[in-house]
Structure 1
Amino acid sequence: MYIFKKPRWQLSQTEVTDEALFHKRRDFLKLGAAALVSSSVVMDTLWAAKNDLLSPLAFTPTPYGKELELSTFEQASTYNNFYEFSTAKEKPARMAHTLRPSPWEVGFHGECENTTPLEVSALLATLPLEERIYRFRCVEGWSMVVPWIGFPLSALLAIAKPTSKAKYVLFQTKYDPTMFPDQRKGMRQGAIPYPYVEGLRMDEAMHPLAFVAVGMYGKVLPNQNGAPLRLIVPWKYGFKSIKSIDHVAFATTEPKNTWQALNPREYGFYANVNPHVDHPRWSQAKERKLGSFLKTETLMFNGYGEEVASLYKEMDLKRFF
């Protein structure tokens, strides 16, 4: 007889905070020194009305997220790094109305058998959705906890049927200057080169914790959070969790991600959360969760070491950062 052993990060359904509580906790002014959001009353009212219209999703609750205190919906949806809109964290929530998440196709490329583009609506009709509560740690030193809705990344990759030659998987954010204002500025004037690129080793991509989010807090993803598809890799720094994906490619060699290409001294390919390896310009030993003025100790692999440390057991994590 098979006996299921509950992982330590699982949470009973009775411990999951009801979604209605998130919308009552209006604590923008408590985001902390590293996470203050300045906004006018008029713009806040318009933003709240717009996000109240997000469609609810049908999903299966899961017990992921043991002993985690959730960030509010307001915090998670108004403090965003999305350079395609702006480098200011409060602006994507106000500018992302130009993103059109439907219709949206995902293309498969490289070392895979199935290269037929897939419409996201068809994908969602095929794959059952579940909710997972994960920690999210930004390389900048702030963090949050979000109840994402989606499906395992392995389920998406299985549709493409990667060949045995595929050692890495590369993702790109959609390139469409009509949707993303910073892309219209071109290579020299834009904040970063586009399209935004990220990558994972195949064993990382196939790990059970790797997740594709299509929603959060019970509803579809807000545009500023990476609609309609974004990657969630909870043991890595947030820039690995690429937004608004429309291109998936399987490669034989390690791809160079956007931040690694821009500054390899500061950003590596792996980007595992590691409190023992500082960013060249700041410590990674502590973090500030949105909504708190106090810093807390950063956990190795963002608290998921028991599950993922074996992926890197023979690697020097100071060299492969």
Structure 2
Amino acid sequence: MSQKYDPDILASEITTESVYQSRRRLLRAGLGSPLLLLAGCGPRDADAGASPIVTTSAKDSPDGFRTSESQTRFEDASSYNNFYEFGTGKADPARYAGSLRPSPWRVDIAGEAEVTGRFNLEDLLKGVAPQERIYRMRCVEGWSMVIPWLGLPLGDVLRKFKPTSRAKYVAFTSLADPRQMPGVSYDVLDWPYREGLRIDEAMHPLTLLATGMYGRALPNQNGAPLRLVVPWKYGFKGIKSIVKIEFTQKMPPTAWNVSAPEEYGFYSNVNPSVDHPRWSQKTERRISGTASKLFAERIETRPFNGYAAQVASMYSGMDLRKWF
């Protein structure tokens, strides 16, 4: 479980003043706790307007938790999605995800850890301080967003369950209930949706378990009530509606890697030098438009989605063309 970070990243384990002040604002507004969000005490999606989280630094902070880039509008981030459990069209999740019941919610903790079992979501998250993170997100299809997330550092949650030295990977499983998710009735993928991270990736300070976005509870179509956010990887690694977390000794199978291993690797780090077999990854279309224009100008894609200073050291010595 040794972690190899860039020396500068150590500062990110200390709450910065901007994040601390933001958290205080969220708490005063009744939004800082994921438990309040899950209980429906935050604003509803119908109240969507300008994001209440608007404070950004003049430039990217050293810990990578914030960016001064223009945020994608909530209306776009919540209506242009991949969530195949509700259909393969980008508008399908927003159209059909109303059938999902995100509360009550339970998550199984299993595998190579001292503490395992089934936990209510409130107990799973108890004792971990919520944070606000503004992350660039890059989809493997070539589009990207900038989203203000609310959530908890995944590493802080996982440490509660005391993973053993045999835990080399962390596997995640989504809900797959055809009564709530019409898409799982179709043979699009081998359901349930599964994802995985190496243990040091899971423990990295940038990795987030999100319970909200734009200052409100996570919408169903964006993965309510609990989803993974790993900003230096392609978006399909961000598994949604998580119902199981397992510590494993071996690399776990993942949904897209099983479905099309020549196209989707286990690591799936954003890498403009490694093209998808069917399209280039050198540029991206930022979803940062107006009501009349969804996409802004095409921009260059950065290695690790711009988070190389924080995460590249974890892959030192690896052939990132082979381990794509």
- Asked if the contact 1:11–1:65 (Cα under 8 Å) also holds between the matched residues in 2, the reply is no
C-alpha deviation, 1:121, in angstroms? 2.3
Q: Distance in 2 between matches of 1:267 and 1:248?
A: 21
- Asked if the contact 1:227–1:244 (Cα under 8 Å) also holds between the matched residues in 2, the reply is yes
Could you tell me which runs of 5 or more consecutive residues in structure 2 were left unpaired when the two chains were aligned.
1-7, 27-42, 290-294
- Asked if the contact 1:11–1:67 (Cα under 8 Å) also holds between the matched residues in 2, the reply is no
Whether 2:246 is the aligned partner of 1:246: answer no
Q: Give the letter aligned to residue 112 of structure 2.
A: E
C-alpha deviation, 1:165, in angstroms? 0.3
Who is 1:227 aligned against?
Answer: 224
C-alpha deviation, 1:167, in angstroms? 0.3
Q: Distance in 2 between matches of 1:5 and 1:244?
A: 30
Whether 2:310 is the aligned partner of 1:316: answer no
Whether 2:97 is the aligned partner of 1:92: answer no
Identity among equivalent pairs (%): 52
- Asked if the contact 2:135–2:149 (Cα under 8 Å) also holds between the matched residues in 1, the reply is yes
Q: Aligned with 1:301: secondary structure?
A: helix
**Number of residues of Structure 1 aligned to a counterpart in Structure 2:** 278
In the alignment, which of 189, 192, 196 is matched to residue 189 of structure 2? Answer: 192
Q: Give the letter aligned to residue 89 of structure 1.
A: K
Q: Aligned with 2:245: secondary structure?
A: strand
Q: Indicate how the Cα distance of structure 1 residues 12 and 160 shifts in structure 2: closer, same or farther if over 3 A, else same.
A: closer
In the alignment, which of 198, 201, 219 is matched to residue 201 of structure 1? Answer: 198
Who is 1:130 aligned against?
Answer: 131
Q: Distance in 2 between matches of 1:4 and 1:199?
A: 23
C-alpha deviation, 1:285, in angstroms? 0.1
Who is 1:267 aligned against?
Answer: 264
Q: Give the letter aligned to residue 179 of structure 1.
A: Q
Q: Distance in 1 between matches of 2:68 and 2:176?
A: 39
Q: Give the letter aligned to residue 153 of structure 1.
A: L
Deviations 1:229-273 (A, max 9, x none): 000000000000100001001111111211010111101000000
Q: Indicate how the Cα distance of structure 1 residues 201 and 125 shifts in structure 2: closer, same or farther if over 3 A, else same.
A: closer
- Asked if the contact 2:153–2:208 (Cα under 8 Å) also holds between the matched residues in 1, the reply is yes
Who is 1:139 aligned against?
Answer: 140
Q: Distance in 2 between matches of 1:199 and 1:90?
A: 26
* TM-score (structure 2 length as normaliser): 0.80
Who is 2:40 aligned against?
Answer: none
C-alpha deviation, 1:11, in angstroms? 9.7
- Asked if the contact 1:109–1:250 (Cα under 8 Å) also holds between the matched residues in 2, the reply is yes
C-alpha deviation, 1:124, in angstroms? 4.2
Q: Distance in 2 between matches of 1:238 and 1:191?
A: 18
Deviations 1:77-118 (A, max 9, x none): 000100000000111112111110000011111111111211
Who is 1:51 aligned against?
Answer: 45
Deviations 1:186-224 (A, max 9, x none): xxx332110000000001111110111000000110000
Who is 1:258 aligned against?
Answer: 255
Who is 2:79 aligned against?
Answer: 78
Q: Give the letter aligned to residue 305 of structure 1.
A: A
Q: Give the letter aligned to residue 267 of structure 1.
A: Y
Q: Distance in 1 between matches of 2:250 and 2:80?
A: 34
C-alpha deviation, 1:66, in angstroms? 2.7
